[in-house]
Structure 1
Amino acid sequence: MRLRYRPRTFLLELVMVAVAVAFLFPVYALVTLSLKDPRQAADAPLSPPTDPTFDNFSHAWHRAELGPALFNSTVVTVLSLVALIALGSFAAYFLARCATGLGYGLYVLFLLGIVLPFQLGMIPLFKLVDSMGMLGSFQGMVLFYTGIQLPFTVFLYTGFIRALPAEYAHAALIDGAGHVTAFTRVVFPLLRPITGTVLILNAVFIWNDFFTPLLYLGGSARETVPVRVFAFVGQYVSDNGLVFAGLVLAALPIVLAFLLLQRYVIKGFASGLKG
């Protein structure tokens, strides 16, 4: 059967092109301004650079101290992701296979953690972290992000595990394996698609978060990239080339991570919704 090219198809294509342009325009402006000197940026900010320069990136790297900030963001993000995957996947395995009132109640409790905004508890959480002596430390940030993102992680994993046949784990249990062994050796390897989704969605949130690191790490040697870029903008606001070069350097690692894991995002999220 041949598909006819209709005016409606043409209109849909125009809409998609317009949406693509709307999403790509900020990226174009960001990269273009980062490659211009102050004179070019002031004369023609949105035109393609006639004489592109990479000096902005070198200056932004040294003046904003982005090297240590990138290291700090990487440590916080990686440790938080490890904790979220380990705790979230195992908790979801219990909730997905526990057909009792306790399992259902705990699952509803995790869902409430998604609905309620964490900003409501910022002051008590800040006092708690301060009383534990974790202000300005990686441990405090990892603990905070693990608690905040755990409900969302459990939600994704639970839906995906419910869509998996329970016979895989049952076979391992019949062979004498315990629940921990059955999960780590049999179930968890099957969670690769949803694990990719959990990785990228949580990584984007943690890497780009500004308010929490500003509150818990501001003024310390462990400031993350968004905090350092903010300080950089305040100090060198007159030179837009340095500002946008710093933003490009800050966004590059998480963009690369998304490109590597993008095929898992939709696949894992859609599979999780089936449950």
Structure 2
Amino acid sequence: MMRSFSRSIPGHLFAYISALIFIFPVYILINLAIRPTTDLSSALIPTSHPTAANFIEAWERSSLGPAILNSLIVTTVSGFLVVIFATMAAYPLARSTARLSSATFSFFLVGLLLPFQVALIPLYFTMRDLGLLGSIGSLILFYSGLLMPFSIFLIATFLRSLGTEYEEAARIDGCSDFRAFAHIVVPLLRPVLGTLVILNAVTTWNDFLTPLLYLTGSQAATIPVALYQFVGQYTTQWPLVFAGLVISMAPILLLYLVFQRYVIQGFAGGLKG
């Protein structure tokens, strides 16, 4: 028993050290968020006079309320569209054995290899011609297309790891293909769909470059763009930046806590294919 305990010590020690490494940036974030703006001591030193004034000022000066609402709308609508269309596209790609299906799946995978910055400027002109610049509709359309290749890849590979027995039994009982898909396949996809919700939401929520480009000149802003006003050429109000970051973390952290049990299960299942 002692030998088994001694063997587990290095593993536990490594886990504790890894946890400290990951917790350290969170400590810096919170420490600076509650620090008075007049305190210029090192970020490593715990603040002696914590204050909530930074959160109030960051909320009022950066209009975080409308920015959070815009981010919620963009993240929710684009995530919903991606889940719907990616699931409907991945199902026939995963179940079909035709050569055209394999070629189409490979075509979608090309989207994983190309950086989205390559198409950022051409898409900007497309959004301008459609009259969508300056509105969150341009972001919804952009993210819906950007996140589609990875979502199709993960869902299709997850489906390929599942057997077809339940679907075949449903068809024998008289279910149509659509009913078998809606009532049999979709419930089986809950782990991978939960994973996609988290990964896509984090990507959309934290993106800065696209909203900065597409919303320039309008009153609309997402959270990263709203917080950017605290960063200037000659001075940067770091306590307000970090306070705003803590506020912006709350919705996405809550989403992760809701779907966390699906993340590893769904991602591991998707990679098995």
TM-score normalised by the chain length of structure 1: 0.93
**How far off is 1:182 after superposition?**
1.7
SS, match of residue 234 in structure 1: coil
1:88·1:153 contact (CA, 8 Å) conserved in 2?
A: yes
Instruction: Report whether the alignment pairs 1:5 with 2:17.
Output: no
Alpha carbons of 1:164 and 1:90: their partners in 2 closer, same or farther (altered >3 Å)? same
SS, match of residue 269 in structure 1: helix
Alpha carbons of 1:112 and 1:63: their partners in 2 closer, same or farther (altered >3 Å)? same
- Equivalent residue runs for 1:178-193 within 5 Å: 178-193=176-191
How many angstroms apart in 2 are the aligned matches of 1:241 and 1:64? 13
Aligned residue pair count: 273
Instruction: Report whether the alignment pairs 1:258 with 2:256.
Output: yes
1:74-126 Cα distance to aligned partner (Å, 9 max, x none): 00000001100000111111101111011101111111111111111112111
**How far off is 1:54 after superposition?**
0.5
Which one-letter code corresponds to 1:187 in the other structure? V
Structure 2 residue aligned with 1:159? 157
**Residue number among 198, 219, 231 corresponding to 1:221 in the alignment:** 219
Which one-letter code corresponds to 2:208 in the other structure? F
SS, match of residue 135 in structure 1: coil
Structure 1 vs Structure 2 CA RMSD: 1.9
Instruction: Report whether the alignment pairs 1:23 with 2:56.
Output: no
2:154·2:192 contact (CA, 8 Å) conserved in 1?
A: yes
Structure 2 residue aligned with 1:248? 246
Which one-letter code corresponds to 1:192 in the other structure? R
How many angstroms apart in 2 are the aligned matches of 1:101 and 1:28? 53
How many angstroms apart in 2 are the aligned matches of 1:3 and 1:185? 52
1:2-26 Cα distance to aligned partner (Å, 9 max, x none): 86234x6434433332222221111
**How far off is 1:143 after superposition?**
1.2
Which stretch of the first structure deviates more once superposed, 167-176 or 19-28? 167-176
SS, match of residue 90 in structure 2: helix
Which one-letter code corresponds to 1:191 in the other structure? L
Which one-letter code corresponds to 2:29 in the other structure? L
1:161-188 Cα distance to aligned partner (Å, 9 max, x none): 1122212222333333332222112210
Which one-letter code corresponds to 2:168 in the other structure? H
What are the ranges of 5 or more consecutive residues in structure 1 without an aligned counterpart? Answer: none
- Equivalent residue runs for 1:97-246 within 5 Å: 97-234=95-232, 237-246=235-244
State the identity %: 46
Structure 2 residue aligned with 1:88? 86
1:236·1:242 contact (CA, 8 Å) conserved in 2?
A: no
What are the ranges of 5 or more consecutive residues in structure 2 without an aligned counterpart? Answer: none
Alpha carbons of 1:220 and 1:3: their partners in 2 closer, same or farther (altered >3 Å)? farther
Superposed structure 1 runs of 4+ greater than 4 Å apart = 235-238
How many angstroms apart in 2 are the aligned matches of 1:101 and 1:174? 27
Which stretch of the first structure deviates more once superposed, 78-87 or 19-28? 19-28
1:218·1:227 contact (CA, 8 Å) conserved in 2?
A: no
Structure 2 residue aligned with 1:14? 13
Structure 1 residue aligned with 2:64? 66
1:120-147 Cα distance to aligned partner (Å, 9 max, x none): 1112111111111111222221111111
1:33·1:46 contact (CA, 8 Å) conserved in 2?
A: no
